[in-house]
């Protein structure tokens, strides 16, 4: 009972901030353009600041280990499956398929993963490695697919190659992550005034993204031209991939059949894999001019379902059962 209470406490800020955003949208408190403006603020300003500080403070040498490999296997397989299903069965193009793949496999590691890990595992160190993997490996792949999939101009292959090579410069999320890697690798000590400013700015990323998500619940997203509406089957597939298939793959890879992780490590891998879709999927879809319906509904629905799947994982693999 205590563990369930701890999980509910971890979810409380998400529901509270999303509800505040919904109330603000319903009351027209922030104006008609609030969702678009706040989304741009998160993507171009607050999120890059948060990622830069997160990566620059990280120890990259401990990034690759068996637990990260088990988590990565689930993420890569499920994200690829989400992209494949979106294109083959629901007729989505590359960019929308990338959002579907992201909604299927990109976990809410920061604002939910950390409190859940602290409450259930008593330690959030593995979550930091999950964040690094998603920031340095998964995000660039997703953003590359989005960038290429939303390029409406048919260009020569050289221009396309140039566009791909210059994307880190044009994309603030990737640029901030790369700069963070450089600072971490060189051991550079940044001025305290600068890091404090980045910390303040980065701390606005998660709450603003949740407020933006809440705003979107009151307004019906405008679908992109020629985009098919998102049905229950498509949403259900994404949520099932995220909350059920991804942790099951992580368990299969990390369990005795392959990597044979010990009890606490296996619990950490499965627990992090069972986290719901990150609101980043919604922010990315909005900033690339895509229909945000699937991303928005996946965040909300997977967060509801994950309350059960996280509890099940903690019960099944916890100390009393592991």
* Whole-angstrom distance, CA of residue 106 vs CA of residue 92: 19
Mean pLDDT in runs of 10 for the chain (322 residues)? 66 88 92 91 92 85 85 97 96 94 93 79 83 90 86 53 64 88 90 95 91 83 61 95 97 91 93 93 92 93 91 80 51
Is 252:71 a contact under the CB 8 Å cutoff?
A: no
| Burial zone of 137 (CB within 10 Å; 0-12 exposed, 13-18 middle, 19+ buried) | middle
The contacts of residue 270 (CB under 8 Å, 6+ apart) are 247, 250, 251, 254, 313, 317
Helix 263-273, helix 66-88: angle, nearest 10 = 30
* Whole-angstrom distance, CA of residue 95 vs CA of residue 318: 39
DSSP letter for each residue of 98-141: HHHHHHHH-B-IIIIIHHHHHHHTS--HHHHHHHHHIIIIIHHH
pLDDT at 151: 64
Question: How many CA atoms within 13 Å lie on the side-chain side of 2?
Answer: 2
Is 313:119 a contact under the CB 8 Å cutoff?
A: no
pLDDT at 222: 56
CA-based nearest residue to 306, from 64, 113, 166: 113
pLDDT at 154: 47
- Domains along the chain with CATH numbers: 2-317 (1.20.1530)
pLDDT at 314: 86
| Burial zone of 175 (CB within 10 Å; 0-12 exposed, 13-18 middle, 19+ buried) | middle
**pTM for this one?**
0.84
Is 43:143 a contact under the CB 8 Å cutoff?
A: no
Question: How many CA atoms within 13 Å lie on the side-chain side of 19?
Answer: 6
pLDDT at 127: 87
Output the CA–CA distances (angstroms, integers) from residue 162 to 145, 147, 151, 155, 158, in the order listed: 15, 12, 13, 10, 6
């Amino acid at each position: 009972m205590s563990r369930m209470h701890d999980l509910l406490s971890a979810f409380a800020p998400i529901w509270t901030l999303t509800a505040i955003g919904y109330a603000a949208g319903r009351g027209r408190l922030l104006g008609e353009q609030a969702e678009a403006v706040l989304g741009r603020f998160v993507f171009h300003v607050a999120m890059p600041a948060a990622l830069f500080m997160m990566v620059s403070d990280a120890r990259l040498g401990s990034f690759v280990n068996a637990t990260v490999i088990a988590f990565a296997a689930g993420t890569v397989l499920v994200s690829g499956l989400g992209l494949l299903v979106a294109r083959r069965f629901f007729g989505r193009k590359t960019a929308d398929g990338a959002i579907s793949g992201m909604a299927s496999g990109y976990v809410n590691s920061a604002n939910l993963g950390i409190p859940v890990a602290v409450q259930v595992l008593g330690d959030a160190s593995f979550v930091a490695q999950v964040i690094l993997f998603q920031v340095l490996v998964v995000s660039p792949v997703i953003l590359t697919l989005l960038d290429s999939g939303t390029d409406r101009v048919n260009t020569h292959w050289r221009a396309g190659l140039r566009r791909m090579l210059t994307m880190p410069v044009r994309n603030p999320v990737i640029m901030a992550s790369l700069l963070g890697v450089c600072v971490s690798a060189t051991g550079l000590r940044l001025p305290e005034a600068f890091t404090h400013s980045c910390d303040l700015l980065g701390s606005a990323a998660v709450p603003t993204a949740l407020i933006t998500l809440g705003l979107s619940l009151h307004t019906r997203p405008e679908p992109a031209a020629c985009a098919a509406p998102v049905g229950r089957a498509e949403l259900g597939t994404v949520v099932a991939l995220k909350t059920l298939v991804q942790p099951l793959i992580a368990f299969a890879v990390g369990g005795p059949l392959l990597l044979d992780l010990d009890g606490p490590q296996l619990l950490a891998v499965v627990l992090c894999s069972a986290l719901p879709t990150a609101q980043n999927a919604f922010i990315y879809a909005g900033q690339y001019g895509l229909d945000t319906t699937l991303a928005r509904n996946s965040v909300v629905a997977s967060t509801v379902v994950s309350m059960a799947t996280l509890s099940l994982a903690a019960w099944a693999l916890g100390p009393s059962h592991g």
